[in-house]
Every structure is written in C-alpha cells, then in structure tokens.
Structure 1
Amino acid sequence: MSERSEKGRIVRDLTEARERTRWLLEPLSDEDLKAQHDPIMSPIIWDFGHIGNFEDLWLVQKLAGGSPDPELNDIYDASKHSRSERPSLRLLDREGAERYLGEVRRTALEILERVDLSSEDPLLRDGFVYNMVLQHEYQHNETILQTLQLKKGEGYRPEGQKLPEGGGVSEEMVRVPGGPFVMGTDDRRWAYDNERPAHEVNLPDFRIDAAPVTNGAYMRFMEDGGYERPELWDAAGWEWVREEGISAPKHWYQREPHDWWTVRFGFHEPVDPLAPVVHVSWYEADAYARWAGKRLPTEAEWEKAASWDPERESGRLYSWGDEPWSPERANLDQLAFRTARVGAYPGGVSACGCHQLIGDVWEWTASDFEPYPGFEAFPYRQYSEVFFGDRYKVLRGGSWATRPGAIRNTFRNWDFPIRRQIFAGFRCAE
C-alpha cells in the first residue's frame, strides 16, 4: 500500500471510530454521562475526554511537540487518578469534550499530512502510533458498554442487529495435537508490546471444549450446589463468594425456582440456556471447571487452539484464517448487544474445530499475566509492564462488545480474578 493510501485508510478508520463513540453516547443524558454508575467504573464523560487526551498526547504532543494542557493531561491520565477519584475531578462536560476532541482531531490530521510513515521512528513506521490510538478508542467503546450494563434507571438499548441462529456443536471437546507452535507475534504495526515477541512453545496433547460453556451447563453446576461446595473453589475465591454472597452470575436472579432471568442494559429477560454464560469471574470459571472434572486452559493452549493450523504447520491471525472479520465469522462489533447461541458461527471455526473463540465472550484462562521471553515495553510502561504479576488473570478472544480492529488470536486482555463487569465467559480443557 502506498503512503498516500495508508494515510487515507488512517483518516477513514479514525473518523469511523469517532462516529461509533458518538453513536454510543448519543442516547445518554448529561446526568448519565456525569454519573459514576459503579465504583469500579469511571463516569462515561471521563472516558470520552480520555479518548481525546490520549489522541492529543500521542498524535499531537509526541509527534509534533504540540503544547500540552497540563490540567487536561493530569485529569485524563489513567495512571494518576483511580476510578474512585475521577468523579471529583474537573471533567469536561459534553460540549467541552466535543470541542476538545474536535480540535485535537483537526490538528492530528494536519500533522498526519506531514509525517513520513516509512520513517525509522518505531512510532511512525507503518502507522503504528495511529493504529494504537485507534485501538485505544475501540477499547474504550467496550469499557463504556460495560458501564452502561451497570447503569441503573432507564434502560439503554439501541436497536441491535439480528444474530444467526445457533445449531449447537457436534462434539463436546476437540483434541489439539501436541508439539511446538509459535505463540505471540513480531508484528509492530498493530500488536501491543505484551503480544511480542513471537516465541516457540511446546505443548503436550490436550483437549479443549468445542464451544464456550453455556448458561444451561452453568445452571447444572449451580443446581448441583456449585456455590455451596468449598472443595470446588480456590481458597481466595471461596472467601470472596462467602463475603460477597455470590450465588449466580452477575445480573442473574430467580423469579421462581429454576426460572432464571437476567438484566441486560436495564431490561429483564429470561436466561437463554443455549448462549454462552457471561459476567462470571475467574473464580467462578475455575470452580465450574473443577466441578466438570476439567480445568481452565492456559493461555498458550487457548492460543494454539485458536491459531494453529496443523496442515499448514503455521499460525492464523484469527480463528478462521488470515482474512479480515466479516459478520458471518464471529459476533463482534457491538451492534448485536448480546451473545449469540453456541454454534451460530460455523464460518469462524478454528482449524482444530473450536467454535466462537473470537467474539461473544472474553474467555478466562488459567494463566497469570506475565511478559513473554524477551519482552520490551513500548511505547510506554503503563500499558502492560506495570500490570505483570500474579494479581491478574489473562482473558482471550474478545466479546460481542469488542470492535474487530481490537482483536486477534495474539491479543491479551487481563483483569482481577473477582471482576464480573467484563463480558467474560470461559471454556474448559483437560
């Protein structure tokens, strides 16, 4: 692709991303934007201002020495202010944020005209810094949807796209042959630092669920006393269940015995037994796996099941291959506002036979969030390096709320094992 074509692609993608952000926010009142809907989430108006400030920092200040606004740089620095602090900051209101984001975008596009994307500067080469800023906005779109799922009061539901019908899957588990495969990537155009470098990992044979665990299967775990049996739980998880009174996935409740309902964006509906379970913590996923006589897959196992093509003896960018996402391959891009039933995307099946590894629900793995051998922080430590360690568990695969440009087989997400606001489910291995 010529530099002119690449710059045109960047402009189109940045414009489309901002249109999506505004579309998500448009139905919200000023009060809903300013409110902190849950202590673990920011006010949505903070996310909006932060999107603009991140673009200002990287596409204006870093690239062209633009004059920073010290107050805005402080307010929207996620590493300086915890989510509990953010409601008390002097946040831009909707009008002020729109004006700020518009000014930043105009300046960023003027700078784009002048920069050299073939530069040896790793920020500029192949458009990396623009792709990073683009993915950052995509990721905050999903964060905003997490907050909206927690919002009290009037429901939030733009008209969603219809999903394909699920037909189930023919096998409960599939075998993934042992041997070496290449994990991670050396890509420096789109991939984040924690996905690099590519390195060989040798795994023994293992089996992995052909599809994510469904609501119906999870109900059987609950009906068998899953939340009452300490032998199924990690010790810290059992303490958390007892202290918090956890007895079902987040947002679930019973109208009558065995009649489970859920609240989705403020609207009440029956739990669909054929759809993947969602809004469960790592501790819940781990307890279910023990109850089922299985375990959670490591992230190496998950990535091999998603990427490895034994016939080609090489990896794939996505579970279905190297071609870009399309709606028949996975439930991504936010517009369905729900998970699809298991088996709904035969066009997205991995080479080893796994369904829905990309999209629908983020999948908890057994692995702590650790650096790969040879890891180098780039372009800033606060994205990955400061989170490495045993406090966080890795999630893979994206959810229905993930934008297609923000997911691939090598992408690594992470969170605390108690977190349930994310659109997370799981599958088991053995």
Structure 2
Amino acid sequence: MTGLKERIAAELEAGRARSLAYTDVDDEVLVRRHSQFMSPLVWDLAHVGNYEELWVLREVGGLTPLRPEIDAMYDAFTHSRRERHALPLLRPAEARRYISGVRGRVLDVLDAADLGDPDPLRSGGFVFGLVLQHEHQHDETMLATLQLSGEPGLVGDGPLPPGRNAFPAEVLVPAGPFTAGAGTLPWAYDNERPEHRVDLPAYWIDRYPVTNGAYAEFIEDGGYTDPRWWSPRGWSWRDQRGILAPLFWTRDAGTWWRTRFGRTEPVPPDEPVQHVSWYEADAYARWTGRRLPTEAEWEKACGWNPHAGRAGAYPWGDAEPGPEHANLGHRASRPAPVGAFPAGASPCGAEQMIGDVWEWTGSWFLPYPGFRSFPYSEYSEVFFGATYRVLRGGSWATHPLAVRTTFRNWDHPHRRQIFAGFRCARAATPEEA
C-alpha cells in the first residue's frame, strides 16, 4: 500500500496547488459575488478544507474538530449559492491558514491509515479519492466563476493538437445489451453504481461534439426565433430572457466573438460549442432532425467494447489519460478543435467523449436499479428526479481524477456557465442496423 499512499499524497499536493493558484487573485475578487448562481471564490476555498476535515479527520481519523463553529457556514445544503456571499465567511488569509492546517493533519491520517481495511471508507483509500475528486470539482467551479467575473485569472493557453476531419460524421452503435455503471473502479461515486445490463436498439451518434461553426448555422437559420425547435419550457426560458446565442457570444460586423476570461476573440469554428444550456442543445438537435443521446446511449458509445464484452475506464481502454487521449486538466483554457485526439477514440469510433466539453444528454438524473447511498445521501440521492439533466464526459477544465466512462454530472437544464456542449444522436433504421 506504500505506493498507493505516495500516489495519494502527490495527488493531494497537486490538487491543493491548483486550488491556491486559482485563488491567487486580489482579495476583493475572492470575496465578491460574481453571480447569483455561484459562490464567492473564498467560500469554495474554505469549503474544500472543511469537507476534508469532516471526512478524513473526523470520520476516519476520529480527531477532535478544528473549527466546528464553521460547519454550517460551509455546508452546501445549509446555505444556497444565492446566500453565501452574505455569510461571515473566513477572510482569504484565514481560509488559507485553515485549509493548510487541515491538510497537514490529513497527511498524518494518510500515513497511519490501513488502506487494506475492509471498511468501505478506508478500503483502497476511498475517502482520499472522495476528497481529491471533490476539490477538483470545486476547482472547475472556481474556473467557471472566474469566467463569469471577466477576471483573467490563470488562463494560460498551452498547445493543443490540430483538428482533423474524419468521416463519416456519425458512427453506428450496434443493437444489443451492454453493462452500464461502475464495477471495480475503486473511487467511483455511489450514483455510478451498481453495474447493470441495458439493452439498446441500434443508433447513430455524432463522431464529435457539435462545433461552434455548426451551431452558428443554427443561429443564422433563425434557430433562436423559431419556437418549432424548442420544448415549451425551453422556449419560455429563451423568450423571457431574450437569449439569442450561447453565453459570452456577441455579434459584430458580421463576425461572432466570444469573451473568454476577460479576452474578446473571434469564435473558433472548429472547436466544440460550450456555454450552452440543455434547452439550447435540445433545440439544435431538433433543428437537425435528431435528438440528444440518452445517458445509456452516451455511455455505451463512450466505453463499451463488444469484442471484450466489457467497458474500459476510458474510451481508449483502462490506461490513465495521456496528452494524446484527451484535453483535460486545464492544459489549455479552451476546447481543442474536433479531430484532435484520434488516439482517444472509443471502440465504436466516437471521439472526444472525454474532455473538451461536458455533454448534455436527454436523460434526467435518476438512480440506477439497486442504488444505495454512500457515504452520504446528499451527494447524489437528494438530486434524483425530473429536475436535473445528466451531463457526461468532463471538460477541458476537468481533472483526470474526476472523470471516467461512468462518471455522472448533473445540472439544471437552464444552466450555461458550466463548460458544457453536446453531440446528437438518432435511431438507426432497420436497413442501417
């Protein structure tokens, strides 16, 4: 287990360095309310430390609480995002001291832990995987807040591979059963379990996510002003807000521009579209005569290998993501052009299903058959129902530890600040199947 402990310690250090880098801005930026949909950045910073204290120090380590008086303030279910800016939050310097003190004790607990203990929180270091993924998820949330704020933040653009055109534009997923959900993946969340068989008819799914260029054609064809393409709720949402393009897009002198972390630039036509709501994705799919894939269709296309009779942890297999596979971990502050990662293709031929943009599916966030909450019901169970739509695949801002073939994200269908796009699907005809 020594190697696993060393890996966990290194990942904890790298994750914390990321959090501190994203919050290395003026205190005024950290405490400001940038949007009613987002917490102040300083809340996220202290929250990740409080979460670690609750689960590692108290639940596993059995240690005396460090700051029990702040628990309610940093409980995501006690105060909504709309309320958090008005709380007496720890100031930035105090928040940094607090999370540093927690982390030192977390490393002590890790050093003493028996990762072979059959207790499910300890076994395989699950509790450390829990807090690692949690912090990376909040790091991505902080990036979304920085994008909303217009602050440049840490938005360095590293190099990305060039795109390419590959045909056909759709790939066929043959009919038949597959195994959905996480099996032996050690750090998968409760909503990814248990494994279960799903039988699907044949269908086509886009090889790539929908691009900015393709989405611009929808706009130019009057897609935002024609209620035929919108669900009743989607049209009401669009109409009431006067929405005519993706978030952060503007039109000037015949050119679409986007604002990205405080910079205005032409919209790249070959990148996957992002910052669109589920309603917008659904309308585009209807305009093309297709639909959004169901969650099960997305997962089968992403990872199922019919020759092996199993799914890999990733589209390309079980090897951890490398730079040749996917655009993850904020290597650049934008999606890669489509066709940039042929080595990351899934067995059916779909590409860029991991990284670049979260992908809306047509499914509501519901439990799998036989679902059981672990380690707490508030992670997944309280969100089940016809309120949240499922997103899959991660984005350019998602850390590799927080994404896999089975990972399930969810959000309200009107949300646009997340780094979300989509791809389309359609049923195969009997002749095609």
Q: Shorter chain as normaliser: what TM range? A: over 0.9
Identify the residue that residue 30 of structure 2 maps to in structure 1.
33
* Alignment pair present for 1:418 and 2:414: yes
State how far apart, in whole Å, the 1-side matches of 2:400 and 2:197 are: 26
Q: Deviations over 1:207-249 (max 9, x none)?
A: 0001000011111111111011111101000000000001000
Identify the residue that residue 61 of structure 1 maps to in structure 2.
58
SS in 1 for 2:82: coil
* Alignment pair present for 1:243 and 2:227: no
* Alignment pair present for 1:102 and 2:103: no
Higher deviation after alignment, 180-189 or 230-239: 180-189
Return the letter of the residue paired with 2:285.
Answer: A
Aligned length: 425
Q: Deviations over 1:312-354 (max 9, x none)?
A: 2221110111100001110000130001111011111111011
Quote how far apart the aligned CAs of 1:188 are. Answer: 5.9
Identify the residue that residue 212 of structure 1 maps to in structure 2.
209
In structure 2, do the counterparts of structure 1 residues 207 and 188 end up closer, same or farther at CA, with 3 Å as the change threshold?
closer
Alignment check: 8 A CA contact 1:251 1:263 kept = yes
Identify the residue that residue 5 of structure 2 maps to in structure 1.
7
Q: Deviations over 1:145-169 (max 9, x none)?
A: 00011004x5334422111110122
State how far apart, in whole Å, the 1-side matches of 2:266 and 2:51 are: 40
State how far apart, in whole Å, the 1-side matches of 2:221 and 2:395 are: 28
In structure 2, do the counterparts of structure 1 residues 157 and 118 end up closer, same or farther at CA, with 3 Å as the change threshold?
closer
Identify the residue that residue 334 of structure 1 maps to in structure 2.
330
* Alignment pair present for 1:132 and 2:127: no
State how far apart, in whole Å, the 2-side matches of 1:64 and 1:359 are: 35
* Alignment pair present for 1:120 and 2:121: no
Return the letter of the residue paired with 1:421.
Answer: Q
Q: Deviations over 1:116-140 (max 9, x none)?
A: 1111211001110010001001101
* Alignment pair present for 1:369 and 2:365: yes
State how far apart, in whole Å, the 1-side matches of 2:127 and 2:260 are: 35
Return the letter of the residue paired with 1:8.
Answer: E
Identify the residue that residue 198 of structure 2 maps to in structure 1.
201
Alignment check: 8 A CA contact 2:21 2:154 kept = no
Identify the residue that residue 351 of structure 1 maps to in structure 2.
347
Identify the residue that residue 162 of structure 1 maps to in structure 2.
159
Alignment check: 8 A CA contact 2:155 2:261 kept = no
Quote how far apart the aligned CAs of 1:71 are. Answer: 2.0
State how far apart, in whole Å, the 1-side matches of 2:258 and 2:6 are: 43
Alignment of 1:218-297 (within 5 A): 218-257=215-254, 259-297=255-293
Q: Deviations over 1:346-376 (max 9, x none)?
A: 1111110111000000000000000000000
* Alignment pair present for 1:310 and 2:306: yes
Return the letter of the residue paired with 1:280.
Answer: V
Alignment of 1:138-149 (within 5 A): 138-149=136-147
Quote how far apart the aligned CAs of 1:63 are. Answer: 1.2
Identify the residue that residue 183 of structure 2 maps to in structure 1.
186
SS in 2 for 1:45: helix
SS in 2 for 1:202: strand
State how far apart, in whole Å, the 2-side matches of 1:127 and 1:365 are: 31
In structure 2, do the counterparts of structure 1 residues 157 and 49 end up closer, same or farther at CA, with 3 Å as the change threshold?
closer
State how far apart, in whole Å, the 2-side matches of 1:221 and 1:369 are: 28
Alignment check: 8 A CA contact 1:169 1:342 kept = no
State how far apart, in whole Å, the 1-side matches of 2:172 and 2:49 are: 46
Quote how far apart the aligned CAs of 1:12 are. Answer: 1.1
Alignment check: 8 A CA contact 1:168 1:344 kept = no
In structure 2, do the counterparts of structure 1 residues 215 and 188 end up closer, same or farther at CA, with 3 Å as the change threshold?
closer
Quote how far apart the aligned CAs of 1:19 are. Answer: 1.1
Quote how far apart the aligned CAs of 1:73 are. Answer: 0.7
CA RMSD in angstroms comes to 1.0
Q: Deviations over 1:264-290 (max 9, x none)?
A: 011000001111110000000000000
Quote how far apart the aligned CAs of 1:96 are. Answer: 0.7
Return the letter of the residue paired with 2:395.
Answer: S
SS in 2 for 1:135: helix
State how far apart, in whole Å, the 2-side matches of 1:12 and 1:210 are: 36
State how far apart, in whole Å, the 2-side matches of 1:48 and 1:157 are: 16
State how far apart, in whole Å, the 1-side matches of 2:208 and 2:45 are: 35
State how far apart, in whole Å, the 1-side matches of 2:192 and 2:154 are: 34
Q: Give 4+ residue runs of structure 1 displaced > 4 Å after superposition.
A: none
State how far apart, in whole Å, the 2-side matches of 1:134 and 1:184 are: 21
Q: Deviations over 1:164-204 (max 9, x none)?
A: 11012222101000100000013362100000000000000
Residue among 33, 46, 71 paired with 2:69? 71
State how far apart, in whole Å, the 2-side matches of 1:124 and 1:188 are: 15
Residue among 350, 357, 376 paired with 1:380? 376
SS in 1 for 2:158: coil
State how far apart, in whole Å, the 2-side matches of 1:139 and 1:201 are: 29
Residue among 38, 47, 51 paired with 1:50? 47
Quote how far apart the aligned CAs of 1:256 are. Answer: 1.8
Alignment check: 8 A CA contact 2:272 2:357 kept = yes
State how far apart, in whole Å, the 2-side matches of 1:324 and 1:115 are: 25
Task: Report % sequence identity.
Answer: 54
Identify the residue that residue 109 of structure 2 maps to in structure 1.
111
SS in 2 for 1:57: helix
TM-score, structure 1 as length reference:
0.97
Contiguous gaps of at least 5 residues in structure 2: 427-433
Alignment check: 8 A CA contact 1:169 1:211 kept = no
